[in-house]
Structure 1
Amino acid sequence: MPRMIFVNLPVADLAASMKFYEALGFHNNPHFTDATAACMVWSDTIHVMLLTHEKWKSFTTRPIPPNTSSEVSNALSFDDRDAVDAFNAAAAANGGTGDINPIQDLGFMYGRDVADPDGHVWGAFWMDPAAIPTGE
């Protein structure tokens, strides 16, 4: 079995969050979805578990941070700059916030950060490893 990652996120409105992530290109796995949680699939090895606040609190007693704070930034790779721009536009058009940080353009790498409706940060990036400066 390949190694997988399941990113667990507390969300205020499960239906709205599912709609947001679907607009970004995730799809729902109904086998792991109910009234308290939804499994949103990015790839065969990357899944996001959206958990209602009540469900989240069954896993930990740690407080849910306000949506204006950042505890972690998750990064997703894309095939080109246009796909990064499209991800940013989809986030902004579907209840999230685009460009929460300055656009990063290093020539060989291009990235834009978005926040979902609950303030969770996602960095969309494209990189050309062959173009990375060698420092010579």
Structure 2
Amino acid sequence: MTRMIFVNLPVADLAASMAFYEALGFTNNPQFTDDTAACMVWSETINVMLLTHDKWRTFTSRPIPPKTSSEVLLAISLDSRDAVDAMNEAAATHGGAADINPKQDLGFMYNRNLADPDGHVWEAMWMDMAAFPKD
């Protein structure tokens, strides 16, 4: 079996969160979606499970962090600087927040941080390993 990752995130409004992630380029896998959860696919091996708060609580009794908290920063690679900028703009226009941290441009690597409607932090990044400093 291919190794995969399923990132599980608690969300306050499942429909709004699904629309947000679709706007960023994720697709929905209806096989793992119902009225309590949605599987949003980034690639063949990366999936994000959006879970209603009630569904989340069936997995853990730990509290759901407030929207202003950062429990994790998830980085995903994109094909170009323009794609990074487009994802950041899509976040801002679909209920999330753009540029929650300063933009970083190291020449060989470019990233911008965004937050989804529930405050989960994503780092959209592009890297050119051929331009990576040799020293």
Q: TM-score, normalized by length of structure 1?
A: 0.98
Amino acid at match of 1:30: P
Unmatched segments (≥5 aa) in structure 1 = none
Does residue 3 (structure 1) correspond to residue 31 (structure 2)? The answer is: no
Root-mean-square deviation (Å): 0.5
CA distance in structure 2 between the aligned counterparts of 1:115 and 1:79, rounded to whole angstroms: 20
Amino acid at match of 1:115: A
Residues 52-63 of structure 1 aligned to structure 2 (within 5 Å): 52-63=52-63
Residue 94 of structure 1: aligned partner = 94
The offset of 1:119, in angstroms, is: 0.2
Residue 113 of structure 1: aligned partner = 113
CA distance in structure 1 between the aligned counterparts of 2:108 and 2:74, rounded to whole angstroms: 20
Residue 31 of structure 2: aligned partner = 31
Unmatched segments (≥5 aa) in structure 2 = none
Q: TM-score, normalized by length of structure 2?
A: 0.99
Q: Is the partner of 1:91 in helix, strand or coil? A: helix
The offset of 1:63, in angstroms, is: 0.2
User: In the comparison of the two structures, how many residue pairs are matched?
Assistant: 135
Residue 72 of structure 2: aligned partner = 72
Identical residues among aligned pairs (%) = 76
Amino acid at match of 2:10: P
The offset of 1:47, in angstroms, is: 0.3
Moved runs in structure 1, 4+ residues, more than 4 A?
none
